[in-house]
């Protein structure tokens, strides 16, 4: 029994740990990555960026917080989960960049807590599609869950919800560009970002909040350098994804590590008589941290550095 306990403890200790310099993918190339990519992303730390959030919901704008956590880690291609043994040298071990993106905001008396995770292979010349996306939402009415898994020809979508019309579903979704993967594509090398008219599966956050089916839509995607905006007084880039009913604009720095400065998302919000509103997120701060080891009460001080509330 004690061996089982010890094994469980070891797994829990490394559960959030990222790839280290010893875990760089040696059997998969890192095509078209900046020269300092490995030094930054395989240093045994995650990058945590906090944002001041203004979220459109129920026809109103609600204040809150958003956080993006980017980290590389070893991933099982066959099981589509993080490998317990990060030393696995088999072909099943593929290095991915994981993004955990969270949103927390209040709507009147009750809170929303949302999280989206993407798992995108670092070597996108060999693995051009994300392996997996998961999204959950919790609020006082109930909670929902959506998961996309890459298959040979398409994505397998499973969805669970307390809404009758969105109940337990399992369908195939065409293998198109996922809006949720564009965040990590920016961090790889934005020179490779797609532009033009492209079929895209909209954000899983958006699909959940607007109660829409997971169906690809045609989007016009543009990229434009700017000298100044409300998101930065320094040179940066605007990356815009325009659908016929929604626009997402991402602002990011043009130099490595291509920090995401914020975003705007405009669409109809509310029921009955919806209004066109814009969700907005502005960067507060970014840090590199092995946060999975920062779990004592004294470590709450780090949240102040990020400008986040102490809960």
Alpha-carbon span 248 to 271, nearest angstrom: 21
- Answer yes or no: is pLDDT of 78 > 60: yes
- 311 pLDDT band, cuts 50/70/90, is low
List the single range of 2-6, 47-51, 266-270 with lowest mean pLDDT.
2-6
Position 311 in a domain: no
Which of residues 200 and 13 earns the better pLDDT score? 200
Q: What's the CA gap between 72 and 19, in Å, rounded? A: 5
217 inside domain:
yes
- Looking at residue 92, its pLDDT comes to 87
Domain membership flag for residue 99: yes
Report yes or no on 96 lying in a domain.
yes
pLDDT at site 69:
98
pTM: 0.90
Q: Count up the domains in the chain and report the number.
A: 1
The residue to which tokens 């599966």 are assigned: 201
Cα separation, 250 vs 265, whole angstroms: 9
d(CA 55, CA 27): 42
Q: How high is the mean pLDDT of the chain?
A: 89
Q: How many CB atoms lie within 10 A of CB 32?
A: 12
pLDDT band at 32 (very low <50, low <70, confident <90, very high): low
- Of 311 and 73, the structure prediction assigns the larger pLDDT to 73
Written as six digits, the tokens of 77 are: 């291609």
In terms of residue numbers, what domain contains 260?
Answer: 2-305
- Beta-strand runs (E) in the chain: 46-57, 60-76, 93-107, 110-121, 132-139, 142-150, 154-160, 169-174, 177-178, 196-201, 217-226, 236-242, 246-252, 260-269, 275-289
Mean pLDDT of 182-198: 95
The arithmetic mean of pLDDT across residues 153-172, rounded, is 91
């Amino acid at each position: 029994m004690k061996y089982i306990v010890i094994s469980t403890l070891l797994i829990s200790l490394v559960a959030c740990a990222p790839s280290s310099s010893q875990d760089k993918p040696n059997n998969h190339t890192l095509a078209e990555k900046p020269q300092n990519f490995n030094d930054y992303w395989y240093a045994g730390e995650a990058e945590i960026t906090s944002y001041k959030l203004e979220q459109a919901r129920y026809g109103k704008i609600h204040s809150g917080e958003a956080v993006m956590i980017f980290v590389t880690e070893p991933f099982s291609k066959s099981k589509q989960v993080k490998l317990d043994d990060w030393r696995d040298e088999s072909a099943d071990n593929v290095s991915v960049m994981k993004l955990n993106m969270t949103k927390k905001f209040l709507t009147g008396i009750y809170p929303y807590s949302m999280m989206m995770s993407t798992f995108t292979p670092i070597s996108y010349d060999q693995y051009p599609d994300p392996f997996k996306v998961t999204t959950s939402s919790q609020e006082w009415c109930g909670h929902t869950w959506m998961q996309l898994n890459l298959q040979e020809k398409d994505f397998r979508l499973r969805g669970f919800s307390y809404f009758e019309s969105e109940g337990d579903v399992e369908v195939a979704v065409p293998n198109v560009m996922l809006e949720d993967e564009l965040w990590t594509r920016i961090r790889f090398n934005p020179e490779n970002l797609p532009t033009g008219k492209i079929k895209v599966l909209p954000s899983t956050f958006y699909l959940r909040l607007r109660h829409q089916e997971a169906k690809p839509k045609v989007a016009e995607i543009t990229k434009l350098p700017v000298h100044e905006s409300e998101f930065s007084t320094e040179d940066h880039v605007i990356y815009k994804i325009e659908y016929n009913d929604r626009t997402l604009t991402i602002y990011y720095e043009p130099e490595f590590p291509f920090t995401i400065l914020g975003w705007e998302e405009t669409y109809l919000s509310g029921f009955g008589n919806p209004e066109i509103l814009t969700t907005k997120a502005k960067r507060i701060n970014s840090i590199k941290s092995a946060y999975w080891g920062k779990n004592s009460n004294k470590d709450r001080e780090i949240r102040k550095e990020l400008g986040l509330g102490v809960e």
